[in-house]
Amino acid sequence: MVAQDELGKPAYCIFIDSVCEGRVPLVRDQAGKPVLFDTRGAAEREIADNLMTRLQEYMDGERDFESAVEIEEYILPVDVFSDGSIFDEDGYSHK
């Protein structure tokens, strides 16, 4: 039997694929830690909010259309452990 504190708490995280680092958390807090969402819907709303901001920047002439509508972000379920470590569905740790 696994102790309760050894079980990861489920959450969702928004990722982007980086050329140098591979899969990395995109949305971070002021301390630089990945922002975790309790539900997939909350993470989806964050992506939608970012998209609306980019679209407004396009409407204001601050961004081109392709960069405004291109969505590279994606959501993955993660497990968060009591020590603060985060593991994605493939078992990779993210800081």
pLDDT > 60? residue 36: yes
pLDDT > 90? residue 9: no
DSSP string, 9-66: EEEEEEEEEETTTEEEE--B-TTSPBP-BSSHHHHHHHHHHHHHHHHHHHHTTSS-HH
In this structure, is residue 6 part of a structural domain? Answer: no
The pLDDT assigned to 37 comes to: 97
In this structure, is residue 11 part of a structural domain? Answer: no
pLDDT > 90? residue 43: yes
The pLDDT assigned to 85 comes to: 86
In this structure, is residue 56 part of a structural domain? Answer: yes
Q: How many domains does the chain have?
A: 1
Q: Could you read off the pLDDT of 52-95 as tens digits, one per residue?
A: 999 999 999 999 999 999 999 999 999 998 888 899 988 888 87
Domain span holding position 56 = 17-94
The pLDDT assigned to 39 comes to: 96
